[in-house]
């Protein structure tokens, strides 16, 4: 089920592009909305109430967007979905900069234990800020594409280029981190 959910989420640009090209964006929105509800419903049925509530809350946010887009029924509004996802990531990462610890530090502590190398906390905080900047710029560019670019350019950027940029940021950071903290473990 998580494969279906992940495929639908990552495939949103292609699904919505097809829906828009065929004049059926509302139908695609309904299908995506149903797919988003299934994991929460299955978790609830299995007795995992807390997990189900979180999954259903996430689905409710996405469904709210899809309902508004379906009511407005304009192609560029449907195309704002990936921008909204980036804004959600921006707030998720950004709130940890305000209330701490940074999300990157939390991930680092889960992966490497509670003892981090000297300077790692500040590094994790700066890296969280870099991701926040990435999400903000990506959201702004996707919103611009939604209103001013062709459906083809929007689909290519949101379905391929944005993921490649995020992957490049991750790989470059990983290489830098390995070099910068190579001797810290000893």
CA distances, 75 to each of 12, 14, 32, 113, 133 (Å): 14, 13, 16, 47, 27
User: What CA–CA distance (Å, rounded) separates 56 from 60?
Assistant: 6
pLDDT tens digits, one per residue of 169-179: 999 999 988 88
The pLDDT > 70 percentage for the chain reads 95
pLDDT tens digits, one per residue of 36-88: 777 777 777 777 777 777 777 777 888 888 889 989 989 999 999 999 999 98
User: What CA–CA distance (Å, rounded) separates 158 from 10?
Assistant: 9
pLDDT tens digits, one per residue of 19-36: 999 999 999 888 888 887
Report the sign of the C-alpha dihedral through residues 7, 10, 14, 17, in that order: positive
**pTM score, two decimals?**
0.85
Helices 12-21 & 25-45 angle (0-180, nearest 10) = 140
Nearest to 32 by CA among 72, 93, 82, 90: 82
Residue-range domain boundaries for the chain: 1-78, 79-186
């Amino acid at each position: 089920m998580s494969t279906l959910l992940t495929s639908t989420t990552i495939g949103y640009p292609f699904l919505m592009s097809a829906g828009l090209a065929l004049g059926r964006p509302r139908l695609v929105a309904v299908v995506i909305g149903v797919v988003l509800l299934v994991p929460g419903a299955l978790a609830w049925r299995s007795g995992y109430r807390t997990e189900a509530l979180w999954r259903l809350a996430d689905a409710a946010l996405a469904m709210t967007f899809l309902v508004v887009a379906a009511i407005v029924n304009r192609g560029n509004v449907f195309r704002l979905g990936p921008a909204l996802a980036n804004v959600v990531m921006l707030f998720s990462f950004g709130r940890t900069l305000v209330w701490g610890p940074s999300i990157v530090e939390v991930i680092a502590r889960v992966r490497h234990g509670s003892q981090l190398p000297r300077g790692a906390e500040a590094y994790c905080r700066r890296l969280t800020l870099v991701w926040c900047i990435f999400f903000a710029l990506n959201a702004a560019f996707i919103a611009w594409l939604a209103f001013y670019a062709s459906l083809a350019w929007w689909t290519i950027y949101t379905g391929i280029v944005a993921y490649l940029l995020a992957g490049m940021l991750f790989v470059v950071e990983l290489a830098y981190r390995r070099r910068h903290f190579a001797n810290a473990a000893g």
